[in-house]
Amino acid sequence: MVTESKWIINDETKNQITRASTLKPRLDYAAELIDGILDTLNQKKFDLNKNNLKLYEKTRENKRTLTEFETQLHFESEISCAVESLRQVRRCIDSVFGLGNIILVLAPTISLVRTVRSQMLGVFPAADSQFGELSLVLGGLIIDTGQLTSANLDFELANKESSRLLDEAKLIADSKIYKQFPQVDLS
């Protein structure tokens, strides 16, 4: 009778160990991608805000600049919402504490990133490739974690959480804009 040692590592086990060992670096890479996108968007938002403050002052004197101001303010509002949404995604990544909660914590972020990516396409198309890469990294993390843990993804729960996070980000962004430009209607 030949017994196989429990310490022998077969090909499937090697594959799982390899995939598991790449999760943490990919989480770190996703965090770096978010930080880079946030830096870019914050700079763009700062520039727009500076320009909008000037336009806001001119609208009091000249009503013709009102249309330009409203357009620019809409761009600033969209970018502010994207920034707040990405901060939500970053908090989700920071809250991952083990293999077991990656799917639960990161599942809503994929939909959130894709939604923000589509919103930013018309406002700031230069960031599209970074959003695409972030979406791929997050999706890969969830797929690999699902295979390693044999966990199932609850799409309904993930979509509800994603909507909640997006609504929260929009509320925060809008309140910041309203605070700075109180007499402006962003509807």
Binned average pLDDT, 10 residues per bin, the chain of 187 residues? 53 52 87 96 94 82 76 91 96 87 90 94 91 94 86 85 94 90 67
Report pLDDT for 23.
Answer: 85
Let me know if residue 52 belongs to a domain: yes
Let me know if residue 17 belongs to a domain: no
Q: Which of 148, 142, 117 is nearest to 26 (CA)?
A: 142
Residue 86 in contact with residue 127, Cβ under 8 Å? no
Return d(Cα 17, Cα 110) in angstroms, integer.
25
Give the chain's domain count.
Answer: 1
Let me know if residue 186 belongs to a domain: no
Domain region containing 77: 22-180
Q: Report which residue type is found at 47.
A: D
Say which residue the tokens 């309904």 belong to.
156
Report pLDDT for 3.
Answer: 58
Provide the CB-side half-sphere exposure for 99 (13 A, CA).
16
Let me know if residue 47 belongs to a domain: yes
Let me know if residue 15 belongs to a domain: no
Return d(Cα 49, Cα 117) in angstroms, integer.
21
Its pTM stands at 0.81
Let me know if residue 27 belongs to a domain: yes
Return d(Cα 83, Cα 79) in angstroms, integer.
6
153 three-state secondary structure: coil
Let me know if residue 8 belongs to a domain: no
Let me know if residue 67 belongs to a domain: yes
